[in-house]
Amino acid sequence: MISSRRHAWVLRTLNLFLLLPFFILSSCEENENVFFVPADTEDQYEIHFIDVGQGDAIFISTPDKNLLVDGGRHDSNITDYLLSLDIEKIDFVIATHPHADHIAGLINVFYDFDIGEVLDPGVVHTTYTFNQYLSTIEVYDIPFTIGRKGMERVLSEHAFFKLLHPVNPSDDHLNNASIVAHVTLGEVTVLLTGDLEKEGEAEVLQEPHLLASDILKVGHHGSNTSSTMPFLEAVDPDVSVIQCGQDNPYGHPHGPVLERLAAIGTDVYRTDIHGHIVIETDGEEYTVHTE
């Protein structure tokens, strides 16, 4: 016997996902061709790897539009952080995948900010948090797009992001359904990987030339399930950021991952050690700031 609350949850979830083909079609129709201007600018950009404990939250500001990737857990205090930046509108939100340490904090973000569009991998998770996330998107009538490889969005005249993954994600392995976004800020590039694990990394490695980036958000909080050596070598980042909580129960980041990062000669920053990590760039040079 299904309770009335459970029945309502099922109906809301089914109603939203019945509309997914429409979202996919509308997104493809409206964004077939995205053009950007090569970098030759004094624009200023900021990349905030927000310390939300054991979770992910990355905020990128450009002269025209803002991007938020994930929001940490319910208690992440991400809204306070964003309000401290005098942010009123977030043009694009990417929910990399439906685990609570990535989407729970987004629920309050949807309450407190004007949201232009949510990009989501379109896989289903049977949790109360996921239901809340979907319901809030529905209540606030936020444009919702199923994110797929090849989609692009313009952030400003010299900045944009492109999705490299997923192609055909499965509900059976949510980490490997993660949206992977490659962000270009002038001549500075950033790769954001969600919780992508080695199987997903093997998929994006089919086109290794797309992965090269100056800055890497290390996959799955530094878990040894991610960050294979072929993947790290293809990205070849100068700076790598691990988002994880102090004394987290998973032991993140794992020793072998730190060893592989050391082997490729990247500078490693960690939110459990450095707190909020902010990278400022003019599109050519960049500076890393920590608490």
Instruction: Spell out the domain ranges in the chain.
Output: 4-31+44-290
Identify which of 94, 89, 54 has the alpha carbon closest to the alpha carbon of residue 74: 54
Q: Of residues 43 and 174, which shows the higher confidence score?
A: 174
Whether 27 has a pLDDT exceeding 80, the answer reads no
Tokens representing 207? 């086109």
Distances (CA, A) of 155 to 45, 72, 73, 191, 238: 10, 23, 26, 15, 23
pLDDT in tens, 85-126: 999 999 999 999 999 999 999 999 999 999 999 999 999 999
pLDDT at 232 over 50: yes
CB 117 within 8 A of CB 91: yes
User: What are the angstrom distances between the C-alpha of 246 and each of 41, 106, 252, 271, 272?
Assistant: 39, 22, 9, 8, 5
Superfamily (CATH H level) for 4-31+44-290? Ribonuclease Z/Hydroxyacylglutathione hydrolase-like (3.60.15.10)
Residue 5 has pLDDT above 60, yes or no: no
Tokens 């969600």 identify what position?
A: 194
Say what the pLDDT of residue 43 is.
87
Q: Which residues contact 271 (CB under 8 A, 6 or more apart)?
A: 49, 50, 51, 52, 241, 242, 243, 244, 245, 277
Residue 71: partners with Cβ closer than 8 Å, 6 or more residues away: 52, 55, 57, 78, 95, 102, 103, 104, 105, 106, 107, 108, 109
Contact 187, 39 (CB under 8 A): yes
In the chain, % of residues over pLDDT 70: 86
pLDDT at 122: 96
Average confidence (pLDDT) over 177-203? 97
Percent of the chain with pLDDT over 90: 82
pTM, two decimals, is 0.86
Rounded alpha-carbon distances, angstroms, from residue 162 to 18, 152, 211, 259: 26, 4, 11, 29
Q: Average pLDDT in the 206-220 region?
A: 97
Tens of pLDDT, residue by residue over 38-85, are 444 568 999 999 999 999 999 999 999 999 999 999 989 999 999 999
- Kindly state the DSSP code that residue 226 receives in the 8-state scheme: S
Q: Which residues pair with 92 in a beta bridge?
A: 67
Q: Contact, 66 vs 45, CB < 8 A?
A: no
Interatomic CA distance for residues 65 and 50, integer angstroms = 18
